[in-house]
Amino acid sequence: MNRKLLALAPLLVFVLLCVFLYQGLFANPRELQTGRIGQAMPAFNLPDLMDESKRWTDSDLKGEVYLLNVWGTWCPTCLAELGYLTELREQGVKIVGLYYEQGYDPDFDGQFDINALRDDVTSMLNRAGDPYQFNILDLKRTLALDLGVSGAPETFLVDKQGTILLHHTGDINPRVWQAKFAPLMQELQ
Amino acid sequence: MRLVIFLASLLITFSAFAEQDKYQFDDKEQAVRFSELTKELRCPKCQNQNIADSDAVVAKDLRDKVLTLVKDGKSKDEVIDYMIDRYGYFVHYDPPVTPATLVLWVLPVLIVVLGFGFIVLRQRKASVKQTWTEQDEALLAKLIEQNQRQEQS
Amino acid sequence: MIPELGYFSLTLAMVLSVLLCIFPLWGAHTGNLRLMRAAPSLAIGQFVFVLLSFAALVYASLTDDFTVSYVAYHSSSTLPWYYKITSTWGGHEGAILLWLVMQAGWTAVVAMRSQSLPWVLRARVLGVLGFLGVGFMLYTLLMSSPFERLLPYFPVEGRDLNPLLQDPGMIIHPPLLYMGYVGLSVSFSFAIAALLTGKLDNTWAKWSRPWTMTAWGFLTLGITIGSWWAYSELGWGGWWFWDPVENASLMPWLVASALLHSLSTTEKRGVFKSWTVLLAIAAFSLSLLGTFIVRSGIIVSVHAFASDPNRGMFILAFLAIVVGGGLSLYALRVSQVKSEGRYKFASREVALWLNNIFLVVATLIVLLGTLLPMIHKELGLGSISIGEPFFNKMFAILLVPFAILMGMGPLLRWKQNKWSMLQNKFALSAVVSLVATAAWLYSSYDVIAPITFIATTLAVWIVVTTLVDLAAKVTIHKTLGEGFKRLGLSYWAMVLGHVGLAFVIAGVTLTSAYSVERDVSMKPGDTVALSEYQYSFDGVKSIRGANYSGHAGVVTVLKNDKQVTVLHAEKRRYDIGMQFMTEAAVDAGFTRDLYLALGEQLSQGAWSLRIYHKPYVRWMWLGGILISLAGFLVLGDKRYRQKSTKQEASA
């Protein structure tokens, strides 16, 4: 009996392995979560994308449920999700943009043309829809690093107390919204 | 006086070389820590690369951050914790010890124990079956020796 | 027309392999000799048609037939002819076709060189190989045909072979690796055939051994070349990253190494029978699992293979049938097997058993480290990464008992040993190893970490004990010449394999401990020092190749004011796709490599350069080559060449 069980063990281990491998086929291995889930929004003090004299801090954002959407004009997936995000804004979801500029290198300070960037942003938002209440410019990507952002698009869901509840990498579409965001939003409202 | 000149010349050669280096450090220990850290931290955007080898924007940002932290005198663990706070355990190539990851260490040890156990058990079973006397032992040794001599010749 | 013929030829091959799967297995089951006798010709026919099919793809590639989608995506008219041929395995579909060529090739060779086997066993081995062929051919024909056309609209120029793959390494690495992976299917088939026959005696081990050795030799060489290729091509001097794709090749290698040792024990002593069968199944299963991991995209790897869930599903299903079937058969049959041999604790049997345990544990560490991140995430526990720090630590720990045992093993005899007779040899070897290592390291380096010292000593220990054993075995005869002649080839294979691994251990240890690098920005005329070498930057010149242009940084290397070499580190931009590639310049040496990579252009004529000094890095690949030679050496062994007609008579 013992011997038979022992002979069966490799098969059982293999079957278990196959279950995990099968599930793995439907998962996205590149999807990542920030280490900030359940923590407060990190402190920051950054300028507005369109108006350098205006500054935003973490406390400005408290008191409302909002999405923080990391994006950039250089990113085609961001362009693709603008339409649906605009729809969400029309449904009353508050969306704040965190502008993630890839072209800026802190080692070459002073060579960056902010006006050209603003023109790009304006034309892209005019074309594809503007879902944002406002945009924060994170030129040095310090807030992005504090949030554990690795690229764009990425979206955070933050509650009234300023706690980060959700981090989604990749675009937001109706399917993702229904599966990940909608249930939490309902709870918060 | 001589000693001072000697030390000064040392310092000059050190800085002359250091000037060309991409990353500047206060001492060798910092340089080693930086090099270790950038090899152990994973680029979160890339396929499967550490931040030392990747050209991705986020890898460069992390590299610069590690450089700042190391030069601020942060220890290796402090820098790793700083990154894990932001990017999760994914960012470190050394997995955390949790109930779920314990299997990484327990299973290999278990197999070694079982492997040794198998041999010990076999020996014991074999010795229970027969009463093995000193004479048998001597005879066997002799036979084996003969046998081996034959094998080799 | 030719590509269609290629597809058609593959279809014919598939028909033959279906027959190869059914006839001999049915014949063996019912005792119908005529059906069994069909197997060899079916196997050879299958190979011919697969080869024709592959030739069709090579032809399409050489003639720049961009109406063929595969050629359009993976080749271009500007490629040199040898890379056009290489491009036939530069993409998924073609790589699988190459795999099929190997599979059919191994099957044909088995068919031709197995006359001495009893028909029941021979038919079953070929039948199982036929089954494996059916699976892969079905996959190629249904899901990944390289012969699909882009008609009526096809490009006038191809997308070119990925510049990373335009390297001599790509020409030989995949074929060698696949030879190894697929070769293990022969060991697998022997194991399954033995299980079907119900006779797990030492004869199957004897027959399976040379095949396993050869496959393992190819696998070793494939992995070695792969490591060397990564080192010379990727531009940061890395040679092993514990990437899932690398792990996928390491796992079957580790199990196959265990299998070799276990096969010899089973053959010589009739023990560990069921264990050996299990290893034979596991080795090929891990080859298949590796293929699944690599091709399905379930794990993030630095190797960006095209991934497609449907293909992943097919391979998983195939994996489940082959491995699940094999293990089910194992579970049914193996409990009846009894070991015969008896042995004491201090015996070669136990040493080989422990060798197997350590190799299996090493495999388990790699398997867990590769798959746990995926499972961890599936269980909703978040993402984790398992890489270098974990694997290096675990392998360093495992190395100590493994290497000590490896030194002792060859001196142990079967059944039992008098410890008192061995004591002196071991003590002497240990002292010699310690002294030699200390002399070596302290003469070269100021700082020696304990781990470096231990690992280097272990490498030396393996060499010393091997030499002690060799000396003892040679001097037992009247003359040295006689002594050398009397030692069989498999003994020499053991010596080569063990010394080869010692080189790998020493190389890995020393290059990890003493490699230094500098990341510098230099203007022409600048000089920087690294280790005992001075690197003087002469400037950058333009270069132009067949299908790329770019820059080469010229650096003169000096040692004690004497010129050692001039390095040309290239930065290439390929005409099609405009991808940048770093082509590092390497001055290879027996005890050190000087490695230089050109970075981007900085302001005011300065360039960024990475300079590496890598001591003993070649020893790894040298060791790998020695180990693989061990695998091929056994082919010449008389015991395997002379087909024992005795066996047939008795069967």
To the nearest whole Å, the CA of A123 is away from the closest chain B CA by 25
- Residue C631 tokens read as 């695998």
- C-alpha C466/C-alpha C478 separation (Å) is 21
Is the CB of C299 less than 8 angstroms away from the CB of A24?
yes
Question: Is C132's pLDDT higher than 60?
Answer: yes
Nearest neighbour of A150 by CB, restricted to B45, B65, B89: B45
Return the higher-pLDDT residue of B151 and C445.
Answer: C445
For residue B84, list chain A residues with Cβ-Cβ distance below 8 A.
Answer: 35
- pLDDT per position as a tens digit, C484-539: 777 888 889 999 999 999 999 999 999 999 998 888 999 998 899 998 899 999 99
Q: Which residues of C touch B93 (CB under 8 A)?
A: 385-390
pLDDT at B127: 63
* C645 pLDDT higher than 70: no
pLDDT score at B15: 41
Q: Shortest Cα distance from B5 to chain C (angstroms)?
A: 22
Residues of A in contact with B85 (CB under 8 A): 35-36
Task: Quickly state the pLDDT bin for C382 (edges 50, 70, 90).
Answer: confident
The pLDDT tens digits for C165-183 are 888 888 999 999 999 999 9
Contact status of A116 with chain C (Cβ, < 8 Å): no
CA dihedral A33, A35, A41, A47 (to 10 degrees): -70
Choose from C378, C601, C602, C608 for mutation: most chain A CBs within 10 A: C378
Q: Where are the alpha helices (DSSP H) in C409-521?
A: 419-444, 450-475, 480-486, 489-514
Cα nearest neighbour of B58 on chain A: A150
Cα–Cα dist A100/A105, whole Å:
12
Tell me: pLDDT of B1 over 70. Answer: no
Measured CA to CA, the distance from residue C196 to residue C334 in angstroms comes to: 11
Name which of B126, B141, B152 is nearest C476 (Cβ-Cβ).
B152
Rg (CA), chain A: 21
Q: Which of A14, A18, A32 sits opposite C383 (nearest CB)?
A: A32
- H or E segment and range at residue C283: helix C273-296
Residue C385: list chain B partners with CB under 8 A.
Answer: 42, 89-93, 95
C389 at B interface, C-beta within 8 A: yes
CB within 8 Å: B21 and C518: yes
Q: How far is B69 from chain A (nearest CA, A)?
A: 14
Chain B CB contacts of A34 under 8 Å are 86-88
Mean pLDDT score, C466-479: 85
| Pick from C324, B57, B96, B119: nearest CA to A105 | B57
Please check the confidence at residue B17 and state whether its pLDDT lies above 70: no
- Nearest-CA distance from C495 to chain B in Å? 17
pLDDT score of C299: 75
- Å between A90 CA and nearest CA of chain B: 32
C522 in contact with B, Cβ within 8 Å: yes
Q: Per residue in C547-568, pLDDT tens?
A: 889 999 999 999 998 999 999 9
Do the chains contact at B100 and C416, CB–CB below 8 Å?
no
pLDDT score for A42: 93
B123-150 tens-digit pLDDT: 777 665 555 566 777 777 788 777 776 6
Closest chain B residue to A42 measured between Cα atoms? Answer: B86
**Subunit contact B40:C364, Cβ cutoff 8 A:** no
Share of chain B above pLDDT 70, in %: 78
Residue of A nearest to C293 (CA): A21
Strand pairing partners for C581? C572
Q: Which residue has the tokens 């084996």?
A: B144
Mean pLDDT of A94-122: 83
- Tell me if chain C has a CB within 8 Å of the CB of A14: yes
Residue scoring higher pLDDT (C498 or A32): C498
Query: What mean pLDDT comes out for the span B5-18?
Result: 44
Span B70-96, mean pLDDT? 94
The predicted pLDDT at position B9 comes to 41
Q: At what angle do helices C489-514 and C618-633 cross, to 10 degrees?
A: 170
Q: What is the pLDDT of residue B3?
A: 46
ipTM: 0.89
Show residues of chain C in contact with B88, CB under 8 Å: 382-383
Question: What was the pLDDT predicted at C288?
Answer: 92
- The pLDDT confidence band at residue B8, using thresholds 50, 70 and 90, is very low
Chain A contact for C309, CB < 8 A? yes
Beta bridge partners of A10: none
Residues of chain C numbered 377-416 and touching chain A (CB < 8 Å): 377-378, 382-383
Q: Would you call C573 helix, strand, or coil by DSSP?
A: strand
DSSP A154: E
> Taking every pair of C-alpha atoms in chain A, what is the biggest distance, in angstroms?
80
Q: How confident is the model at residue C358 (pLDDT cuts 50, 70, 90)?
A: very high
Average pLDDT over residues A54-67: 91
B61–A141: do the CB atoms touch at under 8 Å? yes
Residue showing tokens 């560990």: C272
Mean pLDDT computed over C2-11: 93
Number of inter-chain CB pairs under 8 A, A vs B: 41
Give C296's contacts in chain A (Cβ within 8 Å).
24-25
CA atoms within 13 A on the CB side of B117: 6
Q: How far is CA C118 from the centre of its chain?
A: 31
C-alpha distance from residue C457 to each of C396, C438, C460, C627 (Å)? 13, 8, 5, 20
**What's A18-31 look like in SS3?**
HHHHHHHCCCCCCC
- pLDDT single digits (tens) C418-442: 777 788 889 999 999 999 999 999 9
- Least Cα separation, residue B62 to chain C (angstroms): 17
**Res C164: pLDDT:** 80
Sign of CA dihedral C260, C261, C264, C265: negative
Average pLDDT, whole number, for chain B? 81
Cβ–Cβ < 8 Å for C498, C410: yes
Dump pLDDT digits (tens) for C60-91.
999 999 999 999 999 999 889 999 999 999 88
Q: Phi and psi for B77 in degrees, rounded to 5?
A: -65, -35
**In the prediction, which pLDDT does C304 show?**
53
Percent of residues, chain C, with pLDDT higher than 90:
59
In tens, the pLDDT along A70-83 reads 999 988 899 999 99
Asked whether the beta carbons of residue C324 and residue A21 sit closer than 8 angstroms, the reply is no
Of residues B136 and C647, more confidence is placed in B136
Determine the residue of chain C that is closest to A14 in CA distance: C324
Of the listed ranges B108-112, C369-373, C646-650, the least confidently predicted one is C646-650
Of A36, A106, A149, nearest to B64 by CB-CB distance is: A106
- Rounded CA-CA distance C214/C217 in Å is 5
| Cβ contact C618:C593 at 8 Å | yes
- State which of B42-56, C146-160, C162-176, C556-570 shows the largest mean pLDDT: C556-570
List the subunits that have 3+ CB pairs under 8 angstroms with A. B, C
C381 touches chain B (CB under 8 A): yes
With beta carbons under 8 A apart, name residues in chain C contacting A18: 316, 319-320, 324
Residues of chain B found within 8 Å of residue A2, distances taken between Cβ atoms: none
* Closest chain B residue to the Cα of C351, Cα to Cα: B119
Q: What does the H/E/C string look like for chain B?
A: CHHHHHHHHHHHHHHHHHHHECCCCCCHHHHHHHHHHHHHEECCCCCCCECCCCCCHHHHHHHHHHHHHHHCCCCHHHHHHHHHHHHCHHHECCCCCCCCCCHHHHHHHHHHHHHHHHHHHHHHHHHHHCCCCHHHHHHHHHHHHHHHHHHHC
pLDDT value for B13: 39
- Scanning A32-71 for CB atoms below 8 A from C yields 32-33
What is the average per-residue pLDDT within C587-598? 93
The per-residue DSSP string of A69-134 comes to EEE-TT-HHHHHHHHHHHHHHHTT--EEEEE--SS--GGGTT---HHHHHHHHHHHHHHH----S-
Q: What is the pLDDT of residues C537-550, one digit of tens each?
A: 999 999 998 888 99
Of C266, C608, C268, the closest CA to residue B20 belongs to C608
Whether C649 shows a pLDDT value over 80: the answer reads: no
pLDDT of C574 over the 50 cut: yes
State what percent of residues in chain C have pLDDT above 70.
96
Residue B18: which pLDDT band, with cuts at 50, 70 and 90? low
Average pLDDT, stretch C278-293? 92
Q: Does the CB of B64 have a partner CB in chain A at under 8 Å?
A: yes
Whether C335 shows a pLDDT value over 80: the answer reads no
Query: Chain C: nearest CA to B2, how far in angstroms?
Result: 26
- Give the tens place of pLDDT for each residue, C208-254: 999 999 999 999 999 999 999 989 887 778 899 999 889 999 999 99
pLDDT in the model for residue B138? 78
The pLDDT score that the predictor gives to residue C355 is 94
Gap from A12 CA to chain C (nearest CA, Å): 9
- DSSP letter assigned to residue A42: P
Give the tens place of pLDDT for each residue, B96-122: 999 999 999 999 999 999 999 988 887
